[in-house]
């Protein structure tokens, strides 16, 4: 499913934080948002998954206005992982993941055998099947993050919006989660993914395209090697970058230094 963001601006408490953003994520592609803190990544994503209304512009799924859709219909198509859940669920892990099936249920809302199987597969994909009977509040930060990713996968969305999905994860879990997002399920089906990432090396390795945000606007967009230039990284992030190629994937990878002090 294609995701189109056209002319999108977002305001919070009367202040415009995102200005006239236009981007397209083609079906099955992984598109990354990168930028320094406060650049507007999370605000943009919150509008995409309907936690904030647009001040201008639109978010469309295969041409249909997402913000005009019925909430249940939209939730069947798009699932989101916010940066912070904001809630301590007093449920078991299995119950939390089962929440991802609610948009697909009718009547009593009780999970069917098919729903339970979908949830079990989602937990297995993130390496958390052994946590199913545990209480969610008692998990570590990394375990909670994997469970919330499983909940989003259990929703079986055609578009997946992820805000810092590698938060709280160790490096092995970061690589595993981004690989499963990029590679899709066992049948090779890949949702369209829009994700914000702080780690530029992970973004370069796992994203098909990057959009660099600076002060709520897009500063650059395109394939990672074309976008992550030393000049742009100095301008937007305030660092000196050295580019190398990953020896196996060939993806651009970055080594950082502080910029030299400006001469007086």
Question: For the chain, what is the total number of helices (H) and then of strands (E)?
Answer: 9, 12
**DSSP H or E run through 252:** strand 252-258
Question: pLDDT tens for residues 6-19?
Answer: 999 999 999 999 99
Q: Does pLDDT of 228 surpass 80?
A: yes
Question: Which phi and psi angles does 19 have, rounded to 5°?
Answer: -120, 110
pLDDT at 183: 84
Whether 264 has a pLDDT exceeding 60, the answer reads no
**Which tens digit of pLDDT belongs to each residue from 241-263?**
999 999 998 999 999 999 887 76
Q: Across-strand partners of 244?
A: 253
pLDDT for the residue 261: 79
Least Cα distance to 30 among 147, 146, 184, 136 occurs for 184
Average pLDDT over residues 73-81: 95
Rounded to an integer, what is the distance from CA 72 to the centroid of its chain?
Answer: 20
Q: What is the pLDDT of residues 26-53, one digit of tens each?
A: 999 999 999 999 999 999 999 999 999 9
Half-sphere exposure of 167 (CA within 13 A, CB side): 17
Distance of CA 235 to the CA centre of its chain: 25
pLDDT tier, 84 (very low <50, low <70, confident <90, very high otherwise): confident
């Amino acid at each position: 499913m294609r995701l189109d963001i056209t002319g999108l601006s977002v305001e919070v408490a009367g202040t415009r934080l995102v200005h006239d953003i236009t981007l397209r994520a083609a079906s099955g592609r992984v598109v990354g948002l990168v930028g320094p803190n406060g650049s507007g990544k999370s605000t943009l994503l919150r509008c995409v998954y309907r936690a904030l209304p647009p001040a201008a512009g639109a978010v469309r799924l295969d041409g249909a206005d997402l913000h005009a859709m019925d909430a249940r219909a939209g939730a069947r198509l798009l699932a989101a992982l916010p940066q912070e859940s904001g809630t301590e669920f007093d449920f078991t892990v299995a119950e939390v993941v089962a929440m991802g099936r609610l948009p697909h249920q009718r009547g009593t809302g009780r999970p069917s055998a098919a729903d339970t199987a979908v949830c079990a597969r989602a937990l297995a994909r993130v390496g958390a099947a052994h946590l199913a009977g545990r209480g969610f509040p008692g998990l570590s930060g990394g375990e909670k993050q994997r469970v919330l990713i499983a909940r989003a996968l259990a929703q079986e969305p055609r578009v997946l919006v992820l805000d810092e999905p590698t938060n709280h994860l160790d490096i092995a879990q970061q690589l595993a989660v981004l690989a499963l997002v990029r590679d899709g399920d066992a049948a090779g089906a890949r949702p369209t993914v829009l994700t914000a990432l702080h780690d530029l090396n992970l973004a370069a390795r796992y994203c098909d395209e990057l959009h660099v945000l600076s002060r709520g606007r897009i500063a650059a967009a395109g394939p990672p090697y074309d976008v992550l230039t030393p000049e742009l990284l100095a301008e937007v992030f305030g660092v000196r970058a050295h580019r190398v190629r990953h020896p196996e994937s060939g993806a651009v990878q970055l080594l950082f230094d502080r910029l030299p002090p400006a001469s007086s």
